[in-house]
Amino acid sequence: MNFSNQEYKNANKFSVSKTLRIFTVLICLVCLTAFTTKTDAGGYKLGDVATDFSLINIDGKMVSLSDYKTVKGFVVIFTCNTCPYAVAYEDRIVDLDKKYASKGYPVIAIMPNDTYIKPGDNMQAMQARAKAKGFTFPYLMDDGQKIYPQYGATKTPHVYILEKTTKGNIVKYIGAIDDNYQDAAAVKTKYAENAIDALLAGKEIAQKTTRAIGCSIKVK
Amino acid sequence: MKRILLVLILLCFACNTNDELKVYNYDGIAPLINKTDDKVHVVNFWATWCAPCVKELPYFEKINKVYKAKGVELLLVSLDFPREYETKLKPFLKEKQLKSEVVCLNDVGQNRWIPAIDTTWSGAIPATIIYKVGKRKFYEKSFTYEELEKEVQQFLK
C-alpha cells in the first residue's frame, strides 16, 4: 500500500545506480504482490470458480445458478436502485440480457446493499424498479450480505462474467459494462459484450478486467 | 501548443470566480494530486449522490480547519455527473459553504484514470489519497474524524 505508482516513479527518479534501481523495483514488486494477495483474499480472481447461491428473487422464489441447466454461462451484476451509476446502466443491463440470454449468457442481477442503510433498495423498491424498467432477468437480494464479499464486489454496478464448465462457473471477466457511464450513445468499447462475444466464439477475451467508478456497497 | 496551454490556464483562472466550478479531465487533475511542495495533501474523491461521502465531508473540512496552519492542504474532487453540476452540485456547495478547495473530475476514461490514481482502487467512492513527497497512501473506505486525523498525523511526523 505504501508503494503506489507515484512513489514507484519517485523512487526511480531519485535512485542513482542501476543496482539501486533494480533493488527498488524488486522491493516494489514484493510490496505490490503482498498487497494484491491481501486485497484479493476476499474476492475472486480471473479463473476462480464462482460460488453458487440461493438468493430470493423479486417474485419471492429462490434462484440459484444451478437452476439454469442449458446456459453457457452467466452475467452476474451487482447492482441496486439507489446508486446513480447503477441507475445510469439499468437500460443497458436490460439490453445485455435481451441480447445474450438467448445465446446462453443470461443476466443475474444481485442487490448487495444493507436495506436498513438504504431503504430505497428494499424488496418493495426492487420490485417496483424491476417492473418500471421491465427487467427481463432475476433481481435477487443478497440477504445477509454473504455472497458479494465472496465475489469481491466493492461497488454497484460491478460485473462478473462466468463461464459454465464441468469444473464449475469460472470467472472470466470482472469490471464495468462499458467505457461511458454518462452516455450510452457515446460508448466506444462495450467491455461486457466483447467478453461474452469472445467466450461464445471460443476466443481469448481482450480486456479481462476493467474499472469504473461506482457506489460503495452499503453495510451496517 | 504553448499558446493553447496559456489560453487554457487563463480560462481556468477566468472560471475561478464566484460559484463557477473548476472542471478537469484526468490530465488536468493529475498535477493537482501529485504536488511536490512541502505540504501534506489530503485528496478526497466524493459526489453529492454518495451518502457515505457526504457524511464524511465535515471530517475533511475539520481537518482543513485544524491542520491548515500545520501545512495540510485539502482537495475535494467531485465525481458528480456533469448534467447535475447546476441542479445538484452547485446548490450543495452553496448550502454547505465548504472551505476546502473543490474541483470536478469529468473524464469518462475511467478504466485509464482509476488505476493511474491507484493500482488498488476498484472504483468505489468514497476514496482518499494522503500524500507528501516520498510518501503516499490510498484508502478506498469511509473515515471517522478520529481515523482520518490519525492518518494525517502519520504524515506530519
* pLDDT average, residue stretch A58-64: 98
* pLDDT given at position B17: 41
Using only C-alpha atoms, what is the Rg of chain B? 15
What string of DSSP letters covers A22-72?
A: HHHHHHHHHHHHHHHHHHHTTS--TTPEEPP--EE-TTS-EE-GGG-SS-S
Please check whether residue B8 lies inside any domain of the structure. no
| Complex ipTM more than 0.90, yes or no | no
Cβ–Cβ below 8 Å for A211 and B138: no
Residue A29, pLDDT > 90, answer no
Asked whether residue B5 is assigned to any structural domain, the reply reads no
Tally of domains within chain A: 2
Contact B123 A10 (CB under 8 A): no
**Residues A92 and A69 reside in one and the same domain:** yes
pTM, entire model: 0.78
On whether both A111 and A17 belong to a single domain, the answer is: no
The answer to whether the Cβ–Cβ distance between A216 and B34 falls below 8 Å is no
**Lookup result for grid cell 461464445:** A200
**Do A72 and A132 lie in a common domain?**
yes
| A93 vs A136: CA distance, rounded Å | 9
Predicted local distance difference test score (pLDDT) of residue A22: 57
Three-state secondary-structure class, residue A144: coil
Summarised one tens digit per residue, pLDDT across range A173-206 is 999 999 998 889 999 999 999 999 999 999 999 9
Pairing mode of beta strands A62-63, B72-78: unpaired
Are A80 and A24 part of one and the same domain? no
Query: Mean pLDDT over residues A78-102, rounded?
Result: 96
Same domain, A16 and A118: no
Same domain (yes/no): A31, A123 = no
Check pLDDT > 60 for residue A8: no
- Residue A63 and residue A29 in one domain: no
Instruction: For B115-142, write each residue's pLDDT tens digit.
Output: 999 999 999 999 999 999 999 999 999 9
CATH of the domain at B74: 3.40.30.10
Residue A182 pLDDT: 86
List the single residue in B82, B111, B134 with the smallest CB-CB distance to A212. B111
| CA B104, B110, B113, B118 torsion-angle sign | positive
pLDDT at B13 over 60: no
* Closest-CA residue of chain A to B112: A211
Peptide bond into A157 cis (omega under 30): yes
Q: Mean pLDDT over all residues of chain A?
A: 87
Helix, strand or coil, per DSSP, at residue B152: helix
Task: Tell me if A211 and B111 make a contact (CB, 8 A cut-off).
Answer: yes
Residue B124 lies in a domain: yes
Domain at A165, CATH number: 3.40.30.10
At residue A162's C-alpha, the angle toward residues A117 and A82, to 5°, is 20
pLDDT tens digit sequence for B17-35: 446 899 999 999 999 999 9
Element (H, E) at A92: helix A84-100
Tell me, yes or no, whether A102 and A200 share the same domain. Answer: yes
The answer to the question of residue B9 being in a domain is: no
pLDDT at A183 (0 to 100):
87
Rounded distance, CA B42 to CA B33, Å? 9
Tell me, yes or no, if B133 comes closer than 8 A to chain A by beta carbon. yes
Contact A5 B116 (CB under 8 A): yes
| In B51-139, beta strands by DSSP E | 72-78, 101-105, 124-125, 127-132, 135-139
Number of domains in chain B: 1
Average pLDDT on A13-24 reads 55
Question: Which alpha helices (H) appear in B23-50, and where do they start and end?
Answer: 26-29
In terms of domains, do A97 and A186 share one?
Answer: yes
Cα distances (angstroms) measured from residue A71 to each of A92, A97, B108: 21, 13, 33
Residue A219 Cα, gap to closest chain B Cα (Å): 11
Tell me, yes or no, whether A31 and A110 share the same domain: no
Q: Which domain holds residue A169?
A: 49-216
Q: Which residues of B touch A155 (CB under 8 A)?
A: 122-124
Residue type, A10: N
CA dihedral sign, ordered B111, A11, A2, B28? negative
Q: At what angle do helices A123-133 and A84-100 cross, to 10 degrees?
A: 60
**Å from B6 to nearest chain A CA?**
26
Residues A91 and A126 in one domain: yes
Distance from CA of A67 to the nearest CA of B (A): 31
Asked, for residue B12, whether it belongs to a domain, the answer is: no
Question: What amino acid occupies position A182?
Answer: Q
- B56-67 pLDDT, tens digit each: 999 999 999 999
Domain that holds residue B46: 18-156
Predicted confidence (pLDDT) at residue B2 exceeds the cutoff of 80: no
Same domain, A21 and A97: no
Cis peptide before B115 (omega within 30 of 0): no
